[in-house]
Structure 1
Amino acid sequence: MTNMASYTDPTVKHDALLLFEAVDSNPNGDPDNAGKPRTDLETGHGLVSDASLKRKVRDVVQFQVDEGMLSPADRYQIFIRRGVSLNAQLEDAYGALGQATGKGAKADFVAKSAEYMVARYFDVRMFGAVMSTGNASAGKVTGPVTVGIARSQDPVLPIDMGITRTASTQEEKKDNASQMGNKSVVPFGLYVCRVHYQPTRNNQVSEEDLQVLWTSMANMFELTRSAARPDISVRNLFVFSHSTSLGNAPARKLFDSVTIAKVSDLDLPRTSTDYTVTPPAAKSLPDGVTLTTVV
């Protein structure tokens, strides 16, 4: 592993390749298709949305805050949370800055409110946010981190499983106690996601922030297991770090240097051991680029 400072340096560009496997699980249900696993209808490859992946990062960060693992906690709050109004949090920001809410806030105060939100909320600082939805506008923030849609290395074929429940739903219908349901899972899929960190002017991201990001991505499926996704695990997280903010090589060239191949001519991979994942040797990297194997 390379020097930790290289992949947590907030002043330079980073390109990361995340690989995770789903075994007998639904990694990301499609609400437009009865919650079945997302797939590319033309190729059959499995898909996981960027929103789903960022949700899991947020959940891991929130867990660390709740457990007292991140300090100061006020810097690692999560803006987009289940059951929490976004506008209410924006109004809290106005209150903390001594500004009355209402339409037509001056541009300089909108900017101050945005700075407050960036400083307080980890997900705003990293992913950005649109915060102009109510009477306490904080404008729009573009984050330095971009998470792509994950795609399976090979096509997947989701399985629909019929399930039954012995308990009745209503007291008066005990004679019809057996209830039918269904669940859809992917037998196996190795998913690949590309993540980019591009430092920006007036960047408020710290070295610790990047450490939290990579750690949370490495553990993103550990806290979200359920009956629908009991076995999803991160297999690899490779971070390519440049020596400049512009970058020393195209991201695509770096990602292509990681070889993902089936160990034999298997038509139906069913485990991660059916693949070999080989990162590039340090001596083959472009000048100014280092590689950190986080997982």
Structure 2
Amino acid sequence: MAFDKRREYLFLYSVKDANPNGDPLNENHPRYDGDTAQAMASDVRIKRTIRDEWVRGKEQVLVDGQAKSLKTRFEELKKSTGQSDAREVIRECLDARLFGVTFALGTEAFSWTGPVQFKWARSLHSASFEFIQGTSAFATEGRDGADKQQRSFRNEYLVPFALMSVYAIANQNASAETGASDGDLRK
């Protein structure tokens, strides 16, 4: 069931008028290399993007993007998979098989190193960043039941354009532990 051989990937994608990966410790500015002015995106952001695609495609994933506890998510997965053993339940999740997992719930605890690993993405050129301010308007109900209009300002940082590249590796040895297959790599 493991990969039949090691693989290397180079992903290219473009970013236009968007923030490729906001830095929460820096007012959500796009991540960038101060020396080269390259836009950057973390491996975690790349995995989130891939998981979002899998969720849209109805693949079973552990990290589904919804705010919930591990216990709640595990109970959901037990129901949907019909399994009760923690390792077997988690092995049903495509993201855990490919990206790995650290699981600790009750008396069950294990960790798998994911066979697919990403480096940080970088733009293939220097990128500029723009600060954009905008307004939002929405209706709310006042205390007297009448509609009121609320307005708010928003600030965001955008990259007008960046061609991003990210290198990844799929390790056949690590895939044996997680149960990842060649078919998983095609999803």
Does the alignment reach a TM-score above 0.5?
yes
Note the aligned Cα RMSD (angstroms).
2.9
Identity %: 27
CA 200–160 in structure 1, closer or farther in 2 if over 3 Å, else same: same
Residues 152 and 190, structure 1, Cα contact 8 Å, conserved in 2: yes
Residues 117 and 124, structure 1, Cα contact 8 Å, conserved in 2: no
Q: State the 1:121 CA deviation.
A: 0.8
Q: Secondary structure in 1 aligned to 2:91? A: helix
1:105-116 correspondence to structure 2 within 5 Å: 113-114=86-87, 116=88
Residue equivalent to 1:179:
152
| 1:83 is aligned to 2:91 | no
**Structure 2 residue identity aligned to 1:120:** E
Q: Take 2:71 and 2:132, find their aligned partners in 1: how far apart are those partners?
A: 41
Residue equivalent to 1:122:
94
**Structure 2 residue identity aligned to 1:147:** F
2:181 to 181, 206, 210: 206
CA 41–96 in structure 1, closer or farther in 2 if over 3 Å, else same: same
CA 138–168 in structure 1, closer or farther in 2 if over 3 Å, else same: same
Q: Take 1:170 and 1:30, find their aligned partners in 2: how far apart are those partners?
A: 35
Residue equivalent to 1:13:
6
2:133 to 159, 162, 178: 162
Greater relative contact order structure (CA < 8 Å, 6+ sep): 2
Residues 90 and 131, structure 1, Cα contact 8 Å, conserved in 2: no
Residue equivalent to 1:59:
52
Stretches (4+) displaced over 3 A: 88-93, 165-172, 176-179
Q: Give unpaired runs (5+ residues) of structure 2.
A: none
CA 139–186 in structure 1, closer or farther in 2 if over 3 Å, else same: same
**Structure 2 residue identity aligned to 1:42:** D
The TM-score normalised by the length of structure 2 is: 0.80
Q: State the 1:211 CA deviation.
A: 0.9
Cα offsets for 1:228-279 (capped at 9, x unmatched): xxxxxxxxxxxxxxxxxxxxxxxxxxxxxxxxxxxxxxxxxxxxxxxxxxxx
The TM-score normalised by the length of structure 1 is: 0.53
2:36 to 35, 38, 43: 43
Q: Which has more radius of gyration? A: 1
Q: Secondary structure in 2 aligned to 1:41? A: coil
Q: Take 1:170 and 1:37, find their aligned partners in 2: how far apart are those partners?
A: 36
Higher strand share: 2
Q: Take 2:142 and 2:26, find their aligned partners in 1: how far apart are those partners?
A: 32
